Structure 1
Amino acid sequence: MVNMTTFFGMSLGAFVFWQSMDKVHVWIALHQDEKKERLEKEAEIRRVREQLLQENKEREPLA
């Protein structure tokens, strides 16, 4: 009886552990995706800013 109870207890513990690890991996993946998207947005903003500054420098001597 004790062996059966121990088996079920360990099985339940393993199941809970793997489910929590799965949730942790999903959470990490989502945060990595968010970070990647944020970095891409910042790079796009920098690129557009540099382009606008370059255009402004080209127009300034003409004015």
Structure 2
Amino acid sequence: MVKVATYFAMTFGAFLFWQSMDRVHVWIALHQDEKKERMEREQEIKRMQAELMAEAKESES
């Protein structure tokens, strides 16, 4: 009986560990996606600023 209970406990523990690792991987993937989107937005802002600065220099000349 102890062997069955130990086997069940180890199996359940492995299942919980597997589920928690799955959640960690999902969280990491979401965090990386957010970081990628933020970097893309910052690049777009820098590109627009460069365009506006070029237009301002043209209009001054």
Query: TM class, shorter-chain normalised?
Result: over 0.9
Q: CA deviation at 1:51?
A: 0.4
User: 1: CA distance between counterparts of 2:60 and 2:12?
Assistant: 72
Name stretches of at least 5 consecutive residues in structure 1 with no aligned partner. none
Please name the residue that 1:42 is paired with. 42
Q: CA deviation at 1:49?
A: 0.3
Moved over 4 A (4+): none
User: 2: CA distance between counterparts of 1:18 and 1:41?
Assistant: 35
Please name the residue that 2:20 is paired with. 20
User: 2: CA distance between counterparts of 1:52 and 1:14?
Assistant: 57
Q: How many residues get paired? A: 61
Query: What RMSD, in angstroms, separates the aligned Cα atoms of the two structures?
Result: 0.4
User: 2: CA distance between counterparts of 1:49 and 1:31?
Assistant: 27
What's the TM-score once normalised by structure 2's chain length? Answer: 0.98
Instruction: Show CA shifts across 1:6-60 (max 9, x none).
Output: 0000000000000000000000000000000000000000000000000100110
User: 2: CA distance between counterparts of 1:41 and 1:9?
Assistant: 48
